[in-house]
Amino acid sequence: MTPIVALAGIKKSFQDGSERHLVLDGLTLAIHGGETIALTGPSGCGKSTLLNLIAGFDTPDSGDIHLLGRLANDFTARDWDSFRRAELGMVFQQFNLLDPLDVRANIHFPLALNGKPWNGWCDTLISRLGLSELLSRPIDSLSGGQQQRVAIARALAQRPPLLLADEPTGNLDEQSGDEVMALLTSLARESNTAILMVTHSERCAAFMQRRWHLSGGRIAEREQHRQANV
């Protein structure tokens, strides 16, 4: 079975003043359909950078990225567009919601881009994420946690085969965090969605099947201690 995401020998560095600062150093990984992975690591180790590379927001210095069996290094702008539009759901560390639109329009946006109407799954999402009361609110009137839940709903709206989430529960209390985790795992089960989730929380990491640790620019697999307590 071809993995949804396969990275091989990825190097990525940033210019920091006069010197270059190597963040990812020959990183290799593979994610298969329906797999759920927690990505941990110290702050500034390159977790967000890794997600950005997979999503095509940035390009590696060297190394190959395969998405859905195709070499993404050769993707045209149009390939990236359709990949993001149809295959990818992304929860950003800074949410990146569309400010001019209200909550409902934000959640509906990925579906609308593909010409699909608001559906029952959207209703399920908003009620499970506790957003029903907020649907017509403008984005900038929401609290950080509320914005985060909207971002999650938006990412899940069209049940993408791949979900990249950058600390999706960072702003949430334990109970809402657990609800989000339950949602993610059930989505992975029902729609065979692969999930790569950055988290600092042990509690959230425990919901995922696998756990990766990023340090020194590479990934190390860790033993998953507890199984999901759904």
Partner 1 sequence: MSTARAGKCMSTARAGKGMSTAAQRQHHRPLHGLWLSFRVFLGHYRRAPLQAGAILLGVILSVVLLTAVKSINENARSSYREATAPLSSRAAFTLLPAGGKAYLDDEVYFRLSRQGLKLMPRLNGVMTDDSGRRFYLDGIDIIAATSIAASYTSTSAPGTSTPAPGTGPASPLSANLDLGSLLTGAPVLLLSQSQLEKVSAKGALKLKGQAIELIGLDDALGLGSATVADLAFAKQALELPHSLSSIEVLDNIPLETFKQQLSAAGIDESSLDILQGDNGAALTELSGSFHLSLKAMGLLAFVVGLFIAYNGVRYSLMKRTRLLLQLRQLGVGQRELLGALVLELMLMVIFGAAIGFALGLWLGQGLMPLVSMTLEQVYGARLLPGHWRPGWFIEAFGLSAAASLFACIPLMARLVATPLASGRHQAANQGFDVKMQRLQLFAAAALLLLALIITLFEPGVSQYLREQQLTRLLPLYSLGLIALVTLAAPLLLPSLLARLPALFGKSGVIRPGLGQYLIAELKVLAPPMSLAMMAMLLALSANIAMTTLVVSFEGTLKVWLNQRLHADIYLRPGDSHMPQVMATLENDSRISASYRQYSSPALLNGMGEQQQTRFRLLARDSISVRETSTLKTFDAALWQAMQAGGRQILINEPMAQKLNLRLGQRLDITVGGKDVSLEVAGIFYDHGNQQLETLIEETLWQQLGLSPIPMSLALSCNGCDAEQLADTLAGELELSRAQIFSQQNIKKIAISMFGRTFEITASLGTLTLLVASIGLFSALSMLSASRENPLARLHALGVSRSELLLMSAAQMLLMVLATALLAIPVAWVLGYLLIHKVILLSFGWSLTMDWQWLPVFSAVGAALLSAALALAWPLWRQSRRPLIRSLQQEAN
Q: Please report whether residue 169 would count as binding Mg ion according to CB under 5 A.
A: no
The least distance separating Mg ion from the CB of residue 200, rounded to whole angstroms, comes to: 10
List interacting residues with ligand ATP (CB under 6 A): 14, 23, 41, 43-49, 93
Which pairing describes strands 162-166 and 36-40: parallel, antiparallel, or unpaired? unpaired
Token pair of 136, please? 């017509």
Token pair of 48, please? 């967000």
The least distance separating Mg ion from the CB of residue 147, rounded to whole angstroms, comes to: 16
Give the interface size with Mg ion as a residue count (CB under 5 A).
2
Token pair of 190, please? 């029902």
Question: Quick one: which of 5, 40, 41, 48 contacts Mg ion (CB under 5 A)?
Answer: 48
Choose the one of ligand ATP, partner 1, Mg ion, none that binds residue 179, judging by a C-beta under 5 to 8 angstroms depending on kind.
none
Sequence-distant (6+) residues with CB within 8 A of 118 are: 104, 108, 111
Secondary structure letter of residue 208 according to DSSP: S
Choose the one of partner 1, ligand ATP, Mg ion, none that binds residue 83, judging by a C-beta under 5 to 8 angstroms depending on kind.
partner 1
Give the x/- contact pattern for Mg ion in 187-226, rule: CB under 5 A.
----------------------------------------
Question: Quick one: which of 138, 202, 215, 226 contacts partner 1 (CB under 8 A)?
Answer: 138
Phi, psi of 130 (to 5 degrees): 70, 35
DSSP string, 11-38: EEEEEETTEEEEEEEEEEEEE-TT-EEE
Distance CA 162, CA 166 (A): 13
Distance CA 92, CA 141 (A): 19
Q: Which is nearer to Mg ion, 91 or 122 (CB)?
A: 91
Distance CA 9, CA 48 (A): 18
With contacts defined by CB under 8 A, name the span among 24-32, 36-44, 85-93, 207-215 that binds partner 1: 85-93
Please give the residue ranges that form the binding site for partner 1 (CB under 8 A): 52, 55-59, 77-78, 81-86, 88, 90, 92, 96-101, 105, 108-110, 112-113, 115, 118, 138, 140-141
Please give the residue ranges that form the binding site for Mg ion (CB under 5 A): 48, 93
